[in-house]
């Protein structure tokens, strides 16, 4: 496969998932990505853990400008995610940690086809999904490739080309997305 790479299997995710499920108030506190008109993410929900400092998010057109990422309060509410993030960083030998978010796709919903563009996705040249909850009918696509990601798996993929996720199953898909800078 040219756009997907299975990085790891067997990552312990149960404690992190339990912490997320116990705090439903964390979902969509930062709706900038899911509420933009014509966003491919409108059918999903997010928990933002790290991104551009909130005081700098003054207008949507500037969200993607160069910045130093900061941890949001949800990071401190979900400590079971910390070793997972830092383990992924070590595995890819990341030199900088960018945005971190959790996405949730309900049954029958999707992340519509899109390609990420701008400073953040280009500078953070390594994007990892760690699947926290999924089902066998959740299809992850990147160009002409499709994979079914399982809980506890970490996948790298090329988010600069057209990609999407379609949840045809009966269980929500919840994934941790970590963006990093890797010097290649």
Residue whose pair of structure tokens reads 């993030």 in the numeric block: 85
pLDDT over threshold 80, residue 63? no
8 Å CB contact between 165 and 131: no
- At 9 the pLDDT is 98
Under 8 Å between Cβ of 5 and 155: yes
Q: What does the block give as tokens for 13?
A: 């995710």
What per-residue confidence (pLDDT) applies to 165?
A: 98
Cβ count near 1 (within 10 Å): 10
Other C-beta atoms within 10 Å of 151: how many? 17
Q: Is the pLDDT of residue 59 over 80?
A: no
Identify any residues that bridge with 130 across adjacent strands, giving them in sequence order.
Answer: 154, 176
Residue 161's domain comprises: 4-181
Question: Residue 26 above 90 pLDDT?
Answer: yes
What is the number of domains present in the chain?
1
pTM recorded for the entire structure: 0.95
The continuous run of DSSP H or E covering 100 comes out as strand 96-105
Question: Which conformational region is residue 66 in: left (phi greater than 0), alpha (psi within -120 to 50 degrees), or beta?
Answer: beta
List residues bridging with 178 in a β-sheet: 100, 128
Report residue 27 as tokens.
Answer: 């979902």
The domain that holds 53 is classified in CATH as 2.60.120.330
Q: Mean pLDDT over residues 135-149, rounded?
A: 97
Tell me the three state secondary structure of residue 86. helix
- Least confident range of 58-72, 74-88, 104-118: 58-72
pLDDT of residue 154: 98
Please determine, for residue 106, whether its predicted confidence score (pLDDT) is greater than 80: yes
**pLDDT the model gives residue 62:** 72
Tens of pLDDT along 30-49? Answer: 888 888 788 899 999 999 99
Measured in whole angstroms, how far is the alpha carbon of residue 86 from the centre of its chain?
Answer: 15
């Amino acid at each position: 496969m040219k756009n997907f790479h299975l990085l790891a299997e067997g990552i312990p995710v149960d404690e992190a998932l339990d912490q997320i499920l116990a705090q439903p108030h964390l979902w969509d506190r930062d709706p900038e990505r899911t509420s933009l008109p014509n966003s491919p993410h409108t059918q999903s929900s997010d928990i933002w853990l790290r991104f551009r400092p909130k005081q700098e998010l003054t207008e949507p057109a500037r969200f993607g400008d160069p910045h130093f990422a900061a941890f949001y309060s949800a990071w401190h509410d979900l400590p079971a995610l910390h070793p997972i993030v830092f383990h992924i960083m070590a595995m890819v030998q990341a030199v900088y940690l960018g945005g971190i978010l959790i996405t949730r796709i309900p049954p029958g919903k999707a992340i519509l086809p899109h390609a990420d563009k701008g400073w953040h996705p280009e500078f953070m040249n390594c994007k990892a999904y760690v699947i926290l909850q999924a089902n066998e009918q959740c299809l992850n696509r990147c160009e002409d490739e499709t994979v079914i990601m399982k809980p506890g798996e970490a996948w790298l993929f090329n988010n600069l080309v057209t990609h999407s996720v379609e949840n045809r199953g009966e269980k929500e898909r919840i994934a941790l997305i970590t963006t990093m800078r890797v010097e290649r």
